[in-house]
Structure 1
Amino acid sequence: MLKRQLYLLLLVLGTAFWGISFSLVKTGVADGSPFVFLAYKFGIAVLVLAIIFARRLMQLTWHTVFAGSLIGLPLLIGNVLQTIGLQHTSVTNSAFITGLDVLLIPLFKWSIFKKPVPKRVWLSCVIALTGLYLIVARNGLHLNVGDLWTMACAIFFASYVLSVGYFSNKHDAMLTVVIALAVCSLGCLFAAMLDKRAIWVPAEPFFWRGVLFASLFATAYMYAVQSAAQRYLEEEKVALTYLCEPVFAAFAGMLLLGESLSLRTVIGAVFILTALVLAEININKQQA
């Protein structure tokens, strides 16, 4: 199997972890500060990756620290803006608007970096967003002020993916991801210190269960794999895999929270998976 195809599957597995973690986080955070949760999540992920790649950390340079910080800043700002947006808008709106980064990434790549984007990728993005809409917008979208924060978050998430792609062949991917996640942990720690709802050692076991799963699988695994994968995968294809998250979240909600699985969700999932396959197939090469 080609490396790009292997990494594509590993990324899809990572979005499954994202989707499962959504249910765990929902029960774990409850009415507490989401920034405390995020600080623990990113902090534990940094610790785990630092232990795994301890030998590589001995080769850390200021250039790598600078690159990792530039990667981590848009990821941090995107997470904070998304959290603020969720306080003023619905989960439905947040999921769909955040998913707009699947269009923003090829748009930025084409307009800012002057890199060509295949027509099939644009088509795949539209198909995937249609599938996402079917999954999350059961009662339509009603935009409000929180959606403006979420739109800004989508821009920063797109910037994060593009920055990972830019630095992927210039620095050690594992070192930059450790620095990037450390930036996120410190930023969320600072935000939590300003949050009056912050409880630093929650007694609820659901909180710690959610933190452990989110930090190990949805953060350490996912972002490490993504950093390595972007040596072989284009940024817009990475963004397409992101849209698998609501698919897995819907199935996890059904299994873990007893939520119902509608026909719209199944059809939306088919749209998203079709878009992934379409983006990966090069028709011209196959005809040749």
Structure 2
Amino acid sequence: MDISRVKARTKIAGTVMLFLTAFIWGIAFVPQSAAMKYIEPFTFNAARFCLAGVVLLPVRNILRYISYKSGNAEFKKGGSNITEINEFDSKVLKPDLKQINKNSIKGGVLGGLFLFIAGSMQQYGMQFTTAGKAGFITALYIVIIPVIGFFCGKKNGVNIWVATAVSLVGMYLLCIKESLSLGKGDFYIFLSSIAFSMQILSVERFSNNSDALLFSIIEFITAGILSIPCMFIFENPSFSSTCTVWKEIAFLGIFSGGAAYTCQIVGQRYVKAAAASMIMSFEAVFALLGGAVILSERMIVKEILGCVFVFAAIIIAQYSDK
């Protein structure tokens, strides 16, 4: 077996998953925008995060069952006796519960805490600022991550810093349509960007030796549970208004939540956090494309140029990571 080829293939797979994450997150801006007209931030987050966690529960159990049956079938095919099958059960499933799941729980709780903070700050801040400025400020996590890494003793190559500068230019061209100023909403969006950076870093810290689906489930349930008391304390949740946007909540919970964040966790096993954040920032491009296709919005020349800069930044970030 050529280990270098295996590593190259897994990195490609991880990159594809992160692009898929960016695509889903970008498209999700359409239903998210629609939902905010009828539902408040904490109520919205509580519904979609809890839904994401609940949806992934049966998925994980089904996949574990299929994996176990496949393992048993392989043992039986080779003429293994019941002792070997029991040994498979004890040595494969139980160590997962004791070791891998322990890592998944730690990472899930920590990631869920940062996801709750990030989602809450972002949804609250968007009430006081424009979508363009919010998108630009949120995208600052591509700068914050390598800066945090630098102060933690991690060294980034020149390509990451160049890519960061290029991506910032691209994000500016994509999102900013007015003079840049920091208001109340901008401040909360900036705080959400820091929290998103910590969520990405927590995924990198715990994803290598964890159960990706269990990680996601715990992350979403944690964020959802933390949102519930805030929903009742700071808002006036209405069952009827929540039912009005059930399609948007379903899409965000199942796809933007369950599917995309699981792809993020799996993808970050093989792609460094700084480069991963660069890839995931491509969601801004997909958001523009989604708006053009679904909402019949048109991109001006400046926005198209911004797409080119962002894509160039992604290539630069990946280039020297051999």
Tell me the TM-score normalized by structure 2: 0.81
Which residue of structure 1 aligns with residue 170 of structure 2? Answer: 131
Which residue of structure 1 aligns with residue 201 of structure 2? Answer: 162
1:227-269 Cα deviation digits (max 9, x unpaired): 1111111001111122211111111112222222111111111
Q: Displacement, 1:78?
A: 1.0
- Say which of 13, 17, 33 aligns to 2:24: 17
Instruction: Specify the code of the residue in structure 2 equivalent to 1:34.
Output: P
- CA distance in 2 between partners of 1:244 and 1:96 (Å): 12
Instruction: Specify the code of the residue in structure 1 equivalent to 2:107.
Output: A
Bigger mean CA deviation after superposition, 117-126 or 30-39: 30-39
- CA distance in 2 between partners of 1:141 and 1:198 (Å): 34
- CA distance in 1 between partners of 2:235 and 2:320 (Å): 53
1:40-94 Cα deviation digits (max 9, x unpaired): 2111111121111127599375664333211211111111111222222222221
Which residue of structure 1 aligns with residue 37 of structure 2? Answer: 30
- CA distance in 2 between partners of 1:239 and 1:19 (Å): 14
1:69-123 Cα deviation digits (max 9, x unpaired): 11211111111111222222222221111111101101111211x1211110111
Q: Displacement, 1:162?
A: 0.7
Which residue of structure 2 aligns with residue 97 of structure 1? Answer: 137
Which residue of structure 1 aligns with residue 57 of structure 2? Answer: 50
How many matched pairs?
Answer: 282
- CA distance in 1 between partners of 2:198 and 2:117 (Å): 10
- CA distance in 1 between partners of 2:275 and 2:17 (Å): 13
Indicate how the Cα distance of structure 1 residues 172 and 192 shifts in structure 2: closer, same or farther if over 3 A, else same: same
- Say which of 221, 227, 238 aligns to 2:276: 238
Contact persistence 1:48–1:220 (CA under 8 A): yes
Bigger mean CA deviation after superposition, 244-253 or 191-200: 191-200
Structure 2 spans left out of the alignment, 5+ residues:
1-7, 65-92
Contact persistence 1:73–1:184 (CA under 8 A): yes
- CA distance in 2 between partners of 1:36 and 1:200 (Å): 10
Contact persistence 1:33–1:199 (CA under 8 A): no
Structure 1 spans left out of the alignment, 5+ residues:
none
Which residue of structure 1 aligns with residue 67 of structure 2? Answer: none
Q: Displacement, 1:13?
A: 1.9
Contact persistence 1:42–1:184 (CA under 8 A): yes
Contact persistence 1:39–1:185 (CA under 8 A): yes
Contact persistence 2:42–2:235 (CA under 8 A): no
Contact persistence 1:244–1:272 (CA under 8 A): yes
Which residue of structure 2 aligns with residue 223 of structure 1? Answer: 261
Which residue of structure 2 aligns with residue 182 of structure 1? Answer: 221
- CA distance in 1 between partners of 2:208 and 2:281 (Å): 25
Which residue of structure 2 aligns with residue 202 of structure 1? Answer: 241
Indicate how the Cα distance of structure 1 residues 140 and 232 shifts in structure 2: closer, same or farther if over 3 A, else same: same
Q: What is the 5 A alignment of 1:54-73?
A: 54=61, 59=97, 64-73=104-113
Contact persistence 1:16–1:245 (CA under 8 A): yes
Larger Rg: 2
Residue 272 of structure 2 is aligned to residue 265 of structure 1: no
1:97-153 Cα deviation digits (max 9, x unpaired): 1111101101111211x1211110111111111101101102232221222222211
- CA distance in 2 between partners of 1:203 and 1:130 (Å): 38
Contact persistence 2:18–2:263 (CA under 8 A): yes
Q: Displacement, 1:3?
A: 1.5
Contact persistence 2:103–2:209 (CA under 8 A): no
Tell me the TM-score normalized by structure 1: 0.90
Instruction: Specify the code of the residue in structure 2 equivalent to 1:135.
Output: L
- CA distance in 2 between partners of 1:73 and 1:201 (Å): 28
- CA distance in 2 between partners of 1:27 and 1:62 (Å): 38
- CA distance in 1 between partners of 2:253 and 2:303 (Å): 27
